[in-house]
Every structure is written in structure tokens, then in C-alpha cells.
Structure 1
């Protein structure tokens, strides 16, 4: 998986189900995650040690362009000397579950004849009629005008990748020339990376949260919630019974300027709603220059599941893991999206009537206050959230991901 907690946490439910069924589960990861994986009882094999030396992920990751270029150079050198294939040969797995953004791992496994499935910690990232890129805030629209807007968004995205010196062009060249992967098997219409559709995909999230897509027997939606995780300590005695609103910055809060902006907005909203209490999980620095009102409790780390369960609504950036946890507990959301898949997730929240969505550049305190007073008692919103919750509960109970993997292994398919 990619070296982010947001890409590791959603895999734990599936990994635990596979282990409970008698399978050995080993994570390939960067050294900084070794302790985290071993504490959870899984095997660990380090990869990309020269790209992400131990200690890298505990540093301030607001890297300069020069540092990112050096990282990309080290990444390329690691691949060109065959280090990833060496690790796969040493591990000798029966099956590789590769992060859908890590196409080098998929193609490395392919080059060695090792079976491989894609594992997506986001909603599906590929093209479908009327579905804009997951990075886009555009709505789903099957009308001729909507289809044209969606296609225009895809054309703009792919047009930004045509520079032959760009990351995407270089990566494509490595896949084709270093590994001999057939160019006609690569679909460039991926929201963040080119898609490799020959590898079946396990999506770690509910289908009811996505835009409408044609059904596919090469994709399954699977269990993804880490519900039994240990929670951090919290001053519960400070909660006094007023309706609670939880404000979560997400798993990448440390690297987002917009997280502090969210904290500042939360402080202003809390000041305008003295009949509610607010808990905000924010990075160091607090809500900036905004005064902290007495009904706002701010912590560095929060017991998110327990706080969501107690809340009447949740404010966040729209990261998929947090959205799933909110809907599992039946809570509506106020989403102010940041980057990556968050604009697309927010568009899907709006499409399915699961909460309120605002743009960071134009949102007002009055709009958020109105949404927080309306959403908890909105019957339509509650019914929509309950529908997504039903699928999430079913996925955790029925374990379709584990079953699909076992059927794939038994079939001998490649």
C-alpha cells in the first residue's frame, strides 16, 4: 500500500478476515510502518527503503520541489535495479493485493507470473459514462449536456499529462519499456494514475456511495472498516449533554493548510451555536487567529469512532474513511473538500443527499450553522444515510472481499 495511514487503515478489516480464515497476510511497506503493522499481528517486508528511509514519515512532509525530484529519482533507481522484484521473489506470495495507485507493484508481480488483484482505498477512479474524474467536483449527469461536461473534465485531466517530461509520461515509459507491459492494456483514463483493468479490483467501500456505473464482474465492493481499533484518551468529563458536533481533519491533517482553515471555521461556527458543543481534532497550531469559544474542545488526536457515535453531525474534508465511519454510525456530514479524491467524494455526498457540501473559498458561517441545525432531523437525509449504513453493515458481516479472494485463488485464474 502507499505510505499513508489513509491507505493502510481501510485494508485491516479485509486483512483480519483473511487471517482468521487461515491465510498468512504479509504487508509490503516502507520502514516507518513496520512497527504499526507488526503490532497488529501481520507479517512485514520492507520495500522502497532507499526512497523512504526510516524516519521519513515522522518528518515535516511539506517537501520542496527539489526534495520531491530527489525522491522521484530514488524511486526510479530502486525500480530500475529490480529491487521490487527481488522482494517479491523472496516473499514468494500466492497473491499480491496491490494498491490501485501502485501500478509498479502490479506490473512487477505480472512480470514474475504472480497473481495480482487491485485494492482501492478510494471509490472507483476509472472512466464511466457521465462520471467525472474522482478529483472533480462535477456532478453525475447522464443527459447529453452532462455527458459532454464529464468528457470535457476527462480531456482536461488527460491533457495535463501530455508533457513527456511529466511524472505520468515517465511512469508510463517505465511500465512499457522497463517491464515490457503492453501499452494497449493501459487505460490512461484514471483519476490519479493510469488504470490497469486486466487486474480485477476490490473497492474498499460501499457501491451506494459512488455515482451510477455499469456493473462489472471484475470489480467488487468489500469490507473496509476498522471498528475495534484502540482509541486515544479523551476528557469525556468535559462533555455536558449538549448536542455534539465532531470536526475531523482526517488522516493527513498534518500536511493540509486547509485543515487549520477548517479549525478556524469550526471555532466561528461554535461561537454562533452556544447550545451545541464541538470537538475538533486539529494539528498543532489550533484554529489560527480565531478565538476559541468555550463550547469548543480542541485536541491533537481524537477517539474518532466514539465521538462520531455521540455526535449529531460531523464536519470534515470528505476523506473516504471518515465518510464511511460517519455513515456506519448513521450521521450526516458537512463536507468542505480539500484535494485528491475529496472533491469527488463531496460530489457523491451531494448526489445521494447524505449531508451538505460547501466550497472552502466561499463557505460562510451562516451556511454551516443552518446545515448543522437542519441535517440531524431531515428525514430524507436520515433515510439516505441509513441506506449507505445498511450496505456498510452488510459488507462487514458478509465479508465479500475475503470470499472473492478465496474464490479467485481457488479458480487458478490469472
Structure 2
């Protein structure tokens, strides 16, 4: 018998989903990756839903809990036997240690991959995880699209679950390159071929390594549960198949590339613009000198060459005393790593980003979508130096929409960085374009579009299938 997985098409047609209208308060659980960026990106939507009377909760491996410590929503750990608290940080610390002998590094990576396979089998087939979902009392699960397997587990219990993208959509689209690509689509034949090749290469990689094992486990799941939501592996940056169910994107279509396929629900940027953050030091909070913020995000410390890049940025500002630089370098480097600093440069471990952006004229960023959305929401143009994951695709959109520039962090010199700073600050068109997009962002979030979209996916009476209202998606 052909399973939902085996019989799925390699390209997703536009989805005309049956959406459910909500009539009462619901318990909505977020299942994010235990990463700062993935968790913080949900806060704006969670606040919208809570303001409309819904009960919010989070469920994730224990390493996610510290990122929720200042939030009012309850946290339920899951998979703690496979990924105990602190394990993720310990693994990354060991792998990145240059003094770690190669055999020990290989052993660490092999153990990490072994645990990932255990996670797959536990989520798809484990009684403990199934019990955790059942006991949650959830009316709806919003599952991080980067790890969609809990959606399949929820389908066995009849719990509605949808995939939420804290980046742009991850499934293959004939008109849009993967987010890992720097390519900006032009509509030409050559551009189309480049996009097609990039997607084909990513698909072939799903037959290798841990992804190949995952395909086998997913196929076994569909053999047992052919009624589960169909999916395929024509995707990227997903540890699992792309499921052809409503896909929620925490952004607006105006910032995305124009897509050939449908089935996406753009929730708005879902930026928590009112979050409580510390104030900037007085010397940075005021003054006439334009302030430039530089930060490479929560993963910036994991990329070779970042310290040299920071030094190039500092040297560029040493030559521009009329500007002010606020740079966050992370605890791994430390604020003392650069020696005596120019008077117009402040280096810190961490920066209250929204607070700084309210004062900033420019941000030098890694291009993580959270940072990009916050810049746009504050009307701040950018210079993006993408590192990994979806950051190249985000930087391509920055350039495409004319709201900033991009560069190569491994080749950046003081002269190149300085020239880009002069171009963006000296040309008012960048700020004008980002302010026009800012209005789109703010209007989308103020309208409550995200919460209304999620409510349209809720059953009218808990999990019971009430009469349905068919809503056309786009």
C-alpha cells in the first residue's frame, strides 16, 4: 500500500485548506527548537493570542527553558532523557574547542547524531512522548517547521497541529531559491536553472547520513499510519519532511520573494516591539553622532573569522570619529579581546537590541530573520554579513528590496566595511525604503493578523470536529 509519504508529490500545489473557526478560548502550545532565535520569534504571536483570551504554553527540550525565564507562560520539558539540560551547550563547546583531538571530536559528533536518531524514534513511536502530548490538554500545537515530526505524533491523538516558520517557508518552490542560497531570482531561464539545481542538490542530500535514517523512520511511520498528513523531503533546513498542511510564516509576503506555490499563511512579523529591555548607557542613549549597532546574533561566536571581522569594523569606525559604534561580541570573545578602543567605539557582551535600534541609524548584522525584522520594524537599514542557515536568503531579500547591502564576512576588510557604511548612511534611499516597509510591518502586527489566522485554524469546540467554515488560503 502506498503511504502518504511515498505517494506525495515532489512539488506542493497551492493548498485550499479547510480552516476551522474558533468560538471559545483555547489552549495553544508552541513546540520550538531549543534555540534563542526560534523561541524569541514566537513571543509576538504568543502575546497576540494571550491578549485575545487564549491560554499559552511551551513544550521543548530542557535547554529551551532559560530563554523563557522572564515570560509568564508555563514550560513543559520533553525528551529530557535524550537531551538533558545543558547537553546542547556542552556539545557545541566541545566541538568548537580547537584543542579537542580529532578522535574525541568525532566521538562527540557521533554521540550527538545517535541522540538525534533516538529523538526521531521517540517522537514518532515512543509511548512517553505520546503521553506527554495527550496530557498537555492542548487544543492546537504550533510546531517549529525546522522539526515537524511532533505533528505526525499529534495526528495519532487527533490533536490539530500546524508548522510555524520562524524563518521563511522551507519547502521547495520553483520560483524561489533555498534560504541557504545567496541568489536573487530574476525570472530568467538562467536564474530558474540555478534555483532548480540548488533544490535538487539539497534533495539528494536527504539520502545521506542522519537524514537518510530519518527518511526510513518516516516511511515506517506512514506504513503504520497512512492517514497521517502527507509530506515529502523536497525541503531544506528541516529535520523531517515538509508536511502539506497549513504553514504559518512569521513575516509578511511583501518582504518575501514572489512564490510559485501557495499554502502559506503570513502572520505578520510578530515582533514583540513592547518587550521590556534595559536602557542604553547615557553616553549612547543621546548625542548627535549617528549610532551604528553591530551584532552577529546568538550563533556569531561559532563562525571562524568573526573576531577578525569585528576588528575590521572597529578600525573602520576609528577612521570615522563622527560616528558611534555599539558592538556586541558575545561572552566567548569578551570585551577585552580588542585592546584599547577608539573613543567612539563601545564593545559589550550583549546588547538590548530593540532599545539600541530605536536610537540606531544602521545595523551591521548576520542577517538572522529576527534581527532583520526588528530592524525593519524600527526603520533601520542594514549591512548583512550572512553566516549560516537561512541568513544568506535573508540577506538576498535585504538587497532585493533596497533596504541595505551585504558582504562576505571572511573577506571583509576595513576599507570594504567603511565603504559600505558610507554608502548606506550617505544615501537616504535606503532609509526611505526601509521606512516604507516598516509601515507594512507595523500595520500587520497592529492588526492582530497572526492571532486571527491561528484562530481560524482552531476547532470551534475543543478537539471535536464542529461544522467547518472553508476559508481560501493564498
Q: Same fold (TM over 0.5)?
A: yes
- Segments of structure 1 that go 5 or more residues without pairing to the other structure are none
CA contact (8 A) 1:130 1:141 kept: no
Structure 2 counterpart of 1:131? 176
Match among 209, 214, 226 for residue 255 of structure 2: 209
Distance change >3 Å, CA 155–CA 73, structure 1 → 2: same
Distance in 2 (alpha carbons) for counterparts of 1:4 and 1:258:
23
Structure 2 counterpart of 1:282? 329
Structure 1 counterpart of 2:360? 311
Match among 17, 31, 50 for residue 62 of structure 2: 31
Are 1:21 and 2:48 counterparts?
A: no
Moved more, 142-151 or 264-273: 264-273
Distance in 1 (alpha carbons) for counterparts of 2:283 and 2:435:
30
CA contact (8 A) 2:365 2:384 kept: yes
Structure 2 counterpart of 1:267? 314
Structure 2 counterpart of 1:364? 413
Distance in 2 (alpha carbons) for counterparts of 1:364 and 1:400:
43
Match among 131, 145, 149 for residue 104 of structure 1: 149
TM-score by length of 2: 0.80
1:58-207 counterparts in 2 under 5 A? 59=90, 61-62=92-93, 63=95, 64-78=105-119, 79=122, 80-163=125-208, 166-178=209-221, 180=224, 185-193=230-238, 194-207=240-253
Structure 1 counterpart of 2:423? 374
Distance in 2 (alpha carbons) for counterparts of 1:265 and 1:114:
52
TM-score by length of 1: 0.91
Structure 2 counterpart of 1:222? 268
CA contact (8 A) 1:267 1:290 kept: no
Give the Å deviation of 1:289.
Answer: 5.7
Distance in 1 (alpha carbons) for counterparts of 2:398 and 2:127:
42
Distance change >3 Å, CA 258–CA 319, structure 1 → 2: farther
Higher RCO (CA-CA < 8 Å; seq separation 6+): 2
Distance in 1 (alpha carbons) for counterparts of 2:229 and 2:186:
29
1:26-45 Cα distance to aligned partner (Å, 9 max, x none): 11012233354363111221
Aligned length: 412
CA contact (8 A) 1:206 1:388 kept: no
Match among 253, 256, 264 for residue 303 of structure 2: 256
Give the Å deviation of 1:12.
Answer: 0.7
Give the Å deviation of 1:75.
Answer: 3.7
Distance in 1 (alpha carbons) for counterparts of 2:91 and 2:114:
20
1:258-305 Cα distance to aligned partner (Å, 9 max, x none): 543432222121122122110001123248567632321000111111
Distance in 1 (alpha carbons) for counterparts of 2:265 and 2:197:
26
- Segments of structure 2 that go 5 or more residues without pairing to the other structure are 1-31, 96-104
Match among 277, 282, 300 for residue 236 of structure 1: 282
Distance in 2 (alpha carbons) for counterparts of 1:301 and 1:98:
29
CA contact (8 A) 1:260 1:286 kept: no
Moved more, 131-140 or 26-35: 26-35
CA contact (8 A) 1:243 1:277 kept: yes
CA contact (8 A) 2:251 2:266 kept: no
